[in-house]
Amino acid sequence: EAGVVQSPRYKIIEKKQPVAFWCNPISGHNTLYWYRQNLGQGPELLIRYENEEAVDDSQLPKDRFSAERLKGVDSTLKIQPAELGDSAVYLCASSLLNTGELFFGEGSRLTVL
């Protein structure tokens, strides 16, 4: 069975440019998470979805970040405009239940120049 799929794996952009990341969770997993991980740090939650509803987006910088999970399956995370401090790895994860085991994708590494 396929795991969590993310794309692109790597993205290099100049500041003020937009960027989007895509995630396809494990089939049947209702809960989807977007995390940001800086070098040498643990992942930090940006947003959590239960099906198509964003149930926790308190850590999402809403002035420049947006996310959607149409139809409750795959999800897109967008940054517009990107800033230098947005350089990080963006991890997508999914779980069957909010309390269940998390399965992570390989991540999308963003470099903002």
Partner 1 sequence: KNQVEQSPQSLIILEGKNCTLQCNYTVSPFSNLRWYKQDTGRGPVSLTIMTFSENTKSNGRYTATLDADTKQSSLHITASQLSDSASYICVAPFYSGAGSYQLTFGKGTKLSVIP
What residue ranges bind partner 1 (CB under 8 A)?
Answer: 4, 40-45, 55-56, 91, 93, 98-99, 101-107, 109
- Please, which residue, 85 or 100, has the CB nearer to partner 1? 100
Contact residues for 66 (Cβ-Cβ < 8 A; gap 6+): 77, 78, 80
- Please, which residue, 4 or 19, has the CB nearer to partner 1? 4
- Please, which residue, 81 or 96, has the CB nearer to partner 1? 96
Cα(51)–Cα(30) distance, rounded to whole angstroms?
Answer: 5
- Is the distance from CB of 88 to CB of 63 less than 8 angstroms? no
Which amino acid makes up residue 85?
A: G
Q: How far is CA 81 from CA 19, 84, 96, in A?
A: 8, 10, 33
Q: Kindly state the smallest distance separating residue 84's Cβ from partner 1, in Å.
A: 21
Q: Kindly state the smallest distance separating residue 59's Cβ from partner 1, in Å.
A: 10
Strands (E) located in 42-102 = 44-50, 53-56, 65-68, 75-79, 88-95
Q: Kindly state the smallest distance separating residue 74's Cβ from partner 1, in Å.
A: 17
Q: Kindly state the smallest distance separating residue 9's Cβ from partner 1, in Å.
A: 9
- Please, which residue, 5 or 17, has the CB nearer to partner 1? 5
